[in-house]
Amino acid sequence: MPRQAYQYRRRGKTTAGTHIPVMVKQVIDVLRPQQAKVVVDCTIGYGGHASRLLEEMPPDAILIGLDVDGRQLEQTAKRLAGFGHRIRLHRSNFGQLPQVLAQDGIGRVDAILADLGASSMQIDDPKRGFSYKHPNSPLDMRMDDRLAITAADLLANLSYEELDRALWELADEPDHQRIAQFIVAQRAVRPITSTGDLIRLIFAAKGTTEKAWKRHKTYDDPHPAALTFQALRIMVNDELSNLRLLLQSAPEVLASGGRIAIISFHRGEDRIVRQALKDGLEAGIYSSISPKAMRPTIQEVRSNSRSSSGRLRWAIRA
C-alpha cells in the first residue's frame, strides 16, 4: 500500500466508537445484489454492509444476517427494522452457515459476504478488552460472551510452546519467543488480567518502554502490542477454524453463478482465503476467482483509517 495510505491510518482518522463499513463499492460491484434473491451477510455487525446491500437488492429479495455478538445484534435489529421482512437475523457463527439456512428453509443463496475480524464497536468498547488503546480493560476479547474462555484464561494456561507457536503462526510476531517467555515468567508471580498488564509485559519483552517508543515512533510504526492482541483474539474466538468451515460450506450453499466475497485484515486470514478459492477454481467448483486481492483506495483510507489493511477476494460458483 502507498506510504500516504499508511500515514492516514496512523493518524487515526476514524472516530472512536463509530463504524464505517469497509470497501462498500467493491462489495457491491463484486456481489451484484441487484440480481440476487437471497444474500447472506456472515458478519452483519453494525449493519453497514447489510443496509447498502438491501438498498441495491430487489424488493422481494431477502438478506440473512449472522453475528455471534448478541449485544451488537440487538442494536442492529433496531437499526435495520425499517427493512421489515426483507431481513432475517441469527445469532450464530458463520461456521454454522448451512444449519442457519436450513433453519430458515433456504437451500441455495446468490451471494455471501464475510467481513472478518472484530468490528470498530467491539474494539472501541473498553469493557471488552480487544484493544491496546484501553490499558485498564479486562483481558476478555470474546466476540460471543457465551464462550467460556477469555484471553486472560489463555495467558494463564497455555504452555510456552503453545504461546510461542500462536504468536508466530497467527500474527507473525517477530519477538514471539521472548514474549512467550515473559508471559510464562510473569504469570508465575502474578496473573496477567488486564490489557495494561499485557502491554507493559510486551514492551519489556521488546526491551523498551511505552514512553521511549512514543518518543521515537513514526506514523508507519504499528503498536508493539498489536500483533499479540491479534493472536489472542483469534485464539479466543477460534476465528481461523470458523473461516475454514465457511470456505468449505460456501460451495454447498451457493447457487450456480452465485458469488462470495471475503474481506480479511491480516496475512494469516488472507492466505487461507486465497488458497481455498484457488483450490476451488482448480477443482471446477468456482468458474472464476479474483486474480489478486482488491484493496481500499487512498480516498477511503483518508476517511476510514481502519480500512487500510483490508483485502477483498471473491469467487463465482460454477
The residue ranges of every structural domain in the chain are 3-120+239-317, 148-236
Helix (H) or strand (E) holding 148: none
Instruction: Convert 51-85 to b/e letters by CB count within 10 Å (16 or more is b).
Output: bbbbebbeeebbbbbbbbbeebbeebeeebeebee
Q: Does domain 148-236 have CATH number 3.30.930.10?
A: no
pLDDT at 48: 94
Q: Are strands 311-317 and 87-91 parallel, antiparallel or unpaired?
A: unpaired
User: What residue spans of 92-238 are helical by DSSP H?
Assistant: 97-103, 120-124, 151-157, 160-171, 176-189, 195-205, 210-216, 226-236
List residues bridging with 62 in a β-sheet: 38
DSSP state of 15: P
Instruction: Determine the Cα–Cα distance for residues 117 and 42; give it in Å rounded to an integer.
Output: 12
Which of 306, 314, 226 lies closest to 277 in space, CA to CA? 314
- Of the candidates 265, 264, 257, which has an alpha carbon nearest to the alpha carbon of residue 288? 257
Q: How many CB atoms lie within 10 A of CB 93?
A: 22
**Residue 174: all three cell numbers together:** 517477530
Q: Note down pLDDT in tens along the chain; length 318 residues.
A: 444 444 444 444 444 445 789 999 999 999 999 999 999 999 999 999 999 999 999 999 999 999 999 999 999 999 999 999 999 999 999 999 999 999 999 999 999 999 999 998 899 999 999 999 999 999 999 999 999 999 999 999 999 999 999 999 999 999 999 999 999 999 999 999 999 999 999 999 999 999 999 988 887 788 999 999 999 999 999 999 999 999 999 999 999 999 999 999 999 999 999 999 999 999 999 999 999 999 999 999 998 888 899 999 999 999
Closest CA to 290 of 307, 308, 278, 300: 278
132 touches 199 (CB < 8 A): yes
Q: Are 283 and 300 in contact (CB under 8 A)?
A: no
Which CATH architecture best describes the domain 3-120+239-317?
A: 3-Layer(aba) Sandwich (3.40)
Question: With left for phi above 0 and alpha for psi between -120 and 50, is residue 264 left, alpha or beta?
Answer: beta
